[in-house]
Amino acid sequence: MSETVQMKEQLLALKAEALDVLEAVGTPKELDDLRVKYSGKKSALTEILRGMGKLSAEERPVVGQVANEVREAIEEVINRKQEHFVRAETNARLQAEKVDVTLPGRPLTQGGIHPLNKVIEELEDIFLGMGYRVAEGPQVETDYYNFEALNLPQNHPARDMQDSFYLTEDLLMRTQTSPIQIRAMEAAKGQAPLKVICPGAVYRRDDDDATHSFQFHQIEGLVIDKGIRMSDLKGTLLQFAREMFGEQTEIRLRPSFFPFTEPSVEVDVTFTKKNGERIWIEILGCGMVHPKVLEMGGFDPEVYSGFAFGMGVERIAILKYGIDDIRHFYSNDMRFLKQFSRI
């Protein structure tokens, strides 16, 4: 038997053996082992092809053609089985990772506006509707704007009513939003009319309890023009009270003292308790702007007059929503805050 015939028979026998074994392979590991056995560098096919050097130039193409057909047939089966294993693995992974789209979705948590911000926005809307504009100022203030320009010079006894957070001898965390009024007056350069509200956080050294906090919020108002009277102040506050608490609300003014207003009054509103009892509750302080404050703000007190008022936002919110402890506003308790998400 010639060398050529013998090599062709070996190649065909190898093909038949490889195809039978490869068709029966059951795992990717077995397939990798058989790939090395039948088509690797040390495979039987490679050993047979090494004998082609003994063939003549005419015989080599014949054996080479058979060898290529055998190699292609083996690689075709290997590739087909490899694709089969890849698809099977992918399908198994997809099956394991599939999402049941029939399950109810997880709702996204929706935030809401903090109740204090709700009240501030409502207060701003009320006074914007009366022709006021919103003015803002720094929370770290100078002693001049926080006290002296408001007719509270050094050693004035009324300063004891506002135990303050001083940062330096001249700088402190503002104890009221009144400094914004002085800055607004200076910006107006003595030209009226001036109508502003001044919302913002204020700070006083106080022990926290159900009705007190070292930090709280105020909204103060200021009106300056010719011929401003106490009756204008009362009418403004009555309008505010009825828009905030209801059309049946009444107010009363009680004489009081503030260094920056003269005359000064405390304002009470009617409030209905849960048992139906109707009582008076204090909500703010106000009065006619003191002539010295007008003068320090750049206005001639012989020509202009004005009124000012200030209220605590927390107090308004407590009355409006029936809250029993100011600390709820700052405790970050979601059970409390969620009650206001739909208001």
Q: Can you tell me the distance from the alpha carbon of 26 to that of 37, in angstroms, rounded to the nearest whole number?
A: 16
Which amino acid does the sequence have at 162? Q
Question: How big is the chain by its Cα radius of gyration, in Å?
Answer: 45
Q: Can you tell me the distance from the alpha carbon of 248 to that of 169, in angstroms, rounded to the nearest whole number?
A: 48
Task: Give 238's DSSP letter.
Answer: H
Distances (CA, A) of 290 to 224, 226, 257, 259, 306: 11, 15, 11, 8, 8
Q: Is 141 among the annotated ligand-binding positions? A: no
Please confirm whether the linkage preceding 259 is cis (ω < 30° from 0): no
Task: Give 324's DSSP letter.
Answer: S
Buried b (16+ CB within 10 A) or exposed e, 7-39: bbebbeebbeebbeebeebeeeeebeebbeebb
Question: Which parts are annotated binding residues for Mg(2+)?
Answer: 262
Please enumerate, by residue number, every residue annotated as part of a binding site. 262
